[in-house]
C-alpha cells in the first residue's frame, strides 16, 4: 500500500496532492490544497494495457470546474 506524488503526473493539481493509479487505469487522489478528491474506476482494461487515456482529460475538467467554483 502506498501513494504517489500525484501532482508530478498531473500538473493541474496543487503541490502536496497524493494518490495512486491502479491496474486497468483506475485512479484516485486527494488534493488538500485545492479541496479536491477524485476517484475513477473503469469497467474494462484499456488496450493496450497502461494508464486510462481519459484520466488526464477528466482530471483537467474537474480542476477547471473547481477553479470556477472557488
pLDDT of 21? 80
Residues of the chain short of pLDDT 70, as ranges, are 1-3, 6-8, 11-12, 46-51, 70
38-58 tens-digit pLDDT: 898 888 776 666 667 788 888
Cα distance between residue 68 and residue 54, in whole Å: 21
pLDDT of 22? 78
Q: What is the pTM of this model?
A: 0.71
pLDDT of 23? 75
15 closest CA partner among 35, 39, 36, 31 = 31
Interacting residues of 48 by C-beta distance below 8 A, sequence separation 6+: none
DSSP state of 4: B
| Domain limits, the chain | 6-69
Amino acid at each position: 500500500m502506498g501513494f504517489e506524488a500525484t501532482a508530478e503526473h498531473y500538473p493541474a493539481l496543487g503541490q502536496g496532492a497524493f494518490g495512486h493509479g491502479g491496474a486497468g487505469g483506475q485512479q484516485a487522489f486527494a488534493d488538500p490544497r485545492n479541496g479536491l478528491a477524485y476517484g475513477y474506476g473503469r469497467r474494462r482494461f484499456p488496450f493496450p494495457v497502461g494508464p486510462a487515456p481519459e484520466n488526464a482529460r477528466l482530471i483537467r475538467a474537474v480542476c477547471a470546474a473547481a477553479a470556477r467554483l472557488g
